[in-house]
Amino acid sequence: MKKTSWVAIIAILVGVSLTALGCGQSDSNKPSGTTASAKKETREPTTQPLAGLPKEAIGQVITVDPAMKSLVIKPEGEEKKEMTFKVKETATGSLADFKPGDKVMVKFYVETDGKLTAESITKV
């Protein structure tokens, strides 16, 4: 055979070998014995905040319950639905400082279970 034929055959074999090796690399991060059909890890629901910055709501205080660490406001604007917040122990602004009728700004986040948790409450 001609020299160029051998070079072409070797190049093809090397290419096929590298391609086959490259296909196996995608599983190299998995522990040995793990297959694509392995069961996925299940996670319990948590009360950790969702990703992102805290949200803000401005509205009128409807109820304050320092014993239950909760606050309910009626937000300004188009949102007519009352918002109930669980207030963190470390939240700025003491619930004892607020009473129904006060206008407040609440910085909060939505937990994975859908509940609202206040991080900061200030009069406006």
Domains of the chain: 55-123 (2.40.50.320)
73: nearest Cα among 114, 112, 118: 118
The predicted structure's pLDDT at residue 112:
87
CB 63 within 8 A of CB 25: no
Show the CA angle centred on residue 62, arms to residues 60 and 66, nearest 5°.
Answer: 115
The predicted structure's pLDDT at residue 77:
82
The predicted structure's pLDDT at residue 73:
97
The predicted structure's pLDDT at residue 80:
76
Q: Where are the beta strands (DSSP E) in 43-115?
A: 55-65, 70-75, 83-92, 103-110
CB 64 within 8 A of CB 19: no
The predicted structure's pLDDT at residue 16:
58
CB 102 within 8 A of CB 123: yes
Average pLDDT for runs of 10 along the chain of length 124: 66 64 52 51 52 83 95 87 93 90 95 91 94
64: nearest Cα among 111, 108, 124, 118: 118
The predicted structure's pLDDT at residue 92:
81
The predicted structure's pLDDT at residue 25:
52
